[in-house]
Amino acid sequence: MNNSDPIVLNGTSLTRAQLVAVARHGAQVTLDAGQLEHVRRAADFLADKVSCGEPTYGVTTGFGSNADKLLGAHRVRDELPGSRVQAPEGTLMEELQHNLITTHAVCVGKPFGADVVRAMLLIRVNTLMRGHSGIRVATLEALTAMLNRGVVPVVPEKGSVGASGDLAPLSHLAIVLLGGGEAFYQGERLAGAEALRRAGLQPVRLSFKEGLALNNGTAQMLATAALALDSLEYLLGAADLAAAMTLDAFAGRSGALRPEVHALRPHPGQVDGAAHVRSLLDGSTLVDIPYHLVPRFKPWSAEAWDTPEDQALSFDIGWDWVPANQRHGREAFYSRFLPFKGGKKHQPQDAYCLRCMPQVHGAVRDAWAQACRVIDIELNSVTDNPLIFPDAENPQFIEDQVISAGHFHGMPLALAMSYVKAAIPVLASISERRLNKLVDPATNDGLPAFLTGNEDGTDSGFMIVQYTAAALVNDLATRAHPASVYSVPTSANAEDHVSMGANEARHVLEMMEDLGHVIALELYTAAQALDYRREMLNAARRLAARGDWQRLAAKVANAPREDHPHYAQFVEEVQRLMAALAEGEDFHPGASVRAAHAALREHIAFMHRDRAMDGDVRTACGLLQRRVLSV
């Protein structure tokens, strides 16, 4: 979508992609002229009912627990003895709407980012375009102009219970429209009236129900949820990429990714995740490599290599030979594979963090998809109260056309985001387990301990990277408790069950950063492991290509002596190993993994020896945050 083309809002067709374009990329919006007629009809209907003297909730009555109080024709407080409070301009009904906004703007905490606030403005405009809220066209156009001209109200993060909608944060949004509060304009934090003035806008005086239309809805929880899901969509792809790079670094097995496997348990996310990782690994000559070809890491020594090219390596390689008298019961295995143990374990399956990746990533993908379904409905829903039906057939009473309902209640969003919140540490945890497997010499299939040569015992390598990932996973897990299960009644128990959906969605949005950090740390570590694996395999291939079986035999730790009865068999099998290595093409990862690895290496060099890693870590996290890596 070209951001120069304004997005037309009609209340029924707003998408998550359009929300992201407006919130994060500054796209402009315009209002559908035909739909504005429905907005005007509802406002005119409401004005007509008020002129007839019919009582209407939130228009001629108070709000919440004050709903039983009808507004009078004049201010009783003006008659109080000693009253020195100057009466505000306008009618009691205008004062009611104005006070609703000014008294409800009581949030605390640091301000939301501009992307969240812009998303809130967009959502509010779109839902009001449905024509069931009673707002005037002029007020709706003023709200739209504030969005398009870059006025970003200061909305502190905390203060909504998610029913009656996001009253407090939406009041911070609306108070700027009245010339109050604070707003950011061109990066500067200003008084609301000054921000409007600099943007060439005028404050608005609210009419019937307009305050309630502006602050009664789910815009904060919906904005944070939609932006979180946009981030999670990218991170799901990045997690698949990290898993694919790790699988290549392990020279792992692809059987658990095959389509016929997942056809037997066809959860959509699982099927899609397996297919995505298969595509990322396409072209790999590392995955499914025969066991006997994979050497294990040995510390560098001056005598390890005999050519200038290989003498530049910072490692040695080796295998163990399996003598004939130790192959009993494994004859079928050794008819397929040569009797050499290198780095790759002789087993037909990988660890769960690799083998079960489609199931785990897929379950998180399904949680994301379910939340998307809920958010897509909410983006084009009316969420304030009461609802106005000016065209209702055969109305007998105003209650037939102005109906109090509960669309402001955020529980649909809250429970969807609870599901996502529980899934986030799951995705982070399996990523950390893969990272840990890469650095642990007991589990990394022949790679060096902590992915460094450590010839002199002075290097820690990537050991502490795993500590950071572990700390992040723990932090995410402790934040995963659902807010939606704990309702705290408000408004003198008139609002006796609330969703806490604003907290839920805000938590999920905040957790995206740390989830991204964990995945970035896996990619950073996997790139190092992949370099070692490729270099070790290709060094073995170059050695074999020279045809010197004796030099290759010297890499076998328990080679028999010439007077050993099995020496001739050993020589024949070493020569077969040499031929198998020499015949192989250059060992490399899948094309997409190779591209991601190259992008990482443009910014972060391979770590031959210990160095300061803080810059590397910041860079890796920044690449993911900026979505530099194609997933």
Domain closes at, from 170, 192, 217: 217
Cα 208 to Cα 59: distance, rounded to the nearest angstrom:
6
pLDDT for 495 = 81
Please name the helix (run of DSSP H) or strand (run of DSSP E) that holds residue 387, with its range, or none: strand 387-388
Same domain? For 184 and 258 the reply is no
Burial class (CB in 10 A: 0-12, 13-18, 19+), 108: exposed
Same domain? For 573 and 552 the reply is yes
Any domain includes 596: yes
Same domain? For 293 and 213 the reply is no
CATH (domain of 265)? 1.20.200.10
Same domain? For 271 and 206 the reply is no
CA angle 577, 582, 583 (to 5 degrees): 100
352 is known as an active-site residue: no
Any domain includes 78: no
Same domain? For 234 and 197 the reply is no
Determine which one of 57, 291, 419, 524 is catalytic.
57
pLDDT for 80 = 59
Same domain? For 293 and 234 the reply is yes
Domain closes at, from 217, 240, 269: 217
Any domain includes 407: no
Selection from 373, 360, 447 nearest residue 413 by Cα:
373
Mean pLDDT for back-to-back runs of 10 residues, the chain (631 residues): 80 98 98 97 89 72 65 58 59 85 96 98 97 96 98 97 91 97 98 98 94 94 98 98 98 97 98 98 96 96 89 94 92 94 91 97 98 98 91 78 90 96 98 98 96 94 98 98 89 83 96 98 98 97 94 94 94 97 91 98 97 98 96 90
Any domain includes 384: no
Domain count, the chain: 2
Any domain includes 386: no
Any domain includes 375: no
Q: Let me know how long the chain is.
A: 631
Any domain includes 329: yes
Domain closes at, from 167, 194, 217: 217
Same domain? For 308 and 360 the reply is yes
CATH (domain of 65)? 1.10.275.10
Considering Cα of 543, then 548, then 551, then 556, what sign does the dihedral take? positive
Same domain? For 176 and 295 the reply is no
pLDDT for 489 = 86
Angle between helices 411-439 and 501-545 (to 10 degrees): 30
Same domain? For 239 and 184 the reply is no
Any domain includes 568: yes
Same domain? For 94 and 175 the reply is yes
Same domain? For 195 and 272 the reply is no
pLDDT for 452 = 96
Token duo for residue 463: 């050991």
pLDDT for 1 = 42
Cα 296 to Cα 444: distance, rounded to the nearest angstrom:
10
Same domain? For 578 and 500 the reply is yes
pLDDT for 391 = 87
What range does the domain containing 29 cover? 7-73+89-217
